[in-house]
Structure 1
């Protein structure tokens, strides 16, 4: 097993399956970041992970299934929300987390590869949507707390506010070569808070 194996004594008996999955998903993420979805190959992933290719083919079967599992794991492993006591503080923490992820050379390349693949592959698109739904659901309570504190209008769509924080960061990430820095993250959070306070994200009355 490669260095992805857990430290001695930290794995429950029977934990080999979890170790194999972790090694394979790490290898898949590395390969995606380096070469993109089109060149992702299960045999290469097995070699990188130092796992038998039969194991990889039996468990995942296709590149699409492997990428779906990678995204599921990323959603599970993502950092929990930060609660600062203010909406701006919470959403700034969210924006900076997104910014750090996209600005990271490996993670940024990985997301570009998966987003590109999702435009032409339904299973990958579904997995990507699930990833973002998980992250939005994690942070939406911060917005609901702001509603409860009276910071935002009563009928605010909490999920739309969270999406509004990430949207300009992803747009800049995918359409420009400019540096995605903390200043961009802070502006995104400030803009989302200002718009939410102004009632831009109210649910329609029919909902």
Structure 2
């Protein structure tokens, strides 16, 4: 079994929460490049809560949607200080009440903090779940329910990590590397376009 694990660098629950917020529409590699300076400047929830979004923006401007993310990080930190004693809750419901934290983000934070069980559905999990025939749904909430029904709850975290790992390294969105996929013989390849015969001419664009 591959060593499938979260690829975001973090040391504290707050660093995990901020990193996952930043990872939306951004690679983990890019997030890991910007977070060391960010975490040094804002070491705890109170530091973020006392800042303005404009104070955070310079540290994360190479991440997508950085203005919205900076605003949400500050607002989320203010909510943590106001409602949770400046600590990150381990409850998915409580996390989802924070600005900028949706169901997927809350789920990822929970499973890595030992909080509520979850099978977070990001773009990779959704894509692979459909290709492998685990679900026929498009909505992440319905995909998550289908995946949860396949495994006992103690395996949801690993299931999530394995699908993300495989999606990033083999089962790509546009051109999945089926020839090196370890489950190619079992995969129905739903939604995968058939490869053109070798030597076939490409259409001009």
Instruction: Give the TM-score range, shorter chain.
Output: under 0.3
Higher helix share: 1
TM-score by length of 1: 0.24
Give the TM-score of the pair, scaled to structure 2: 0.24
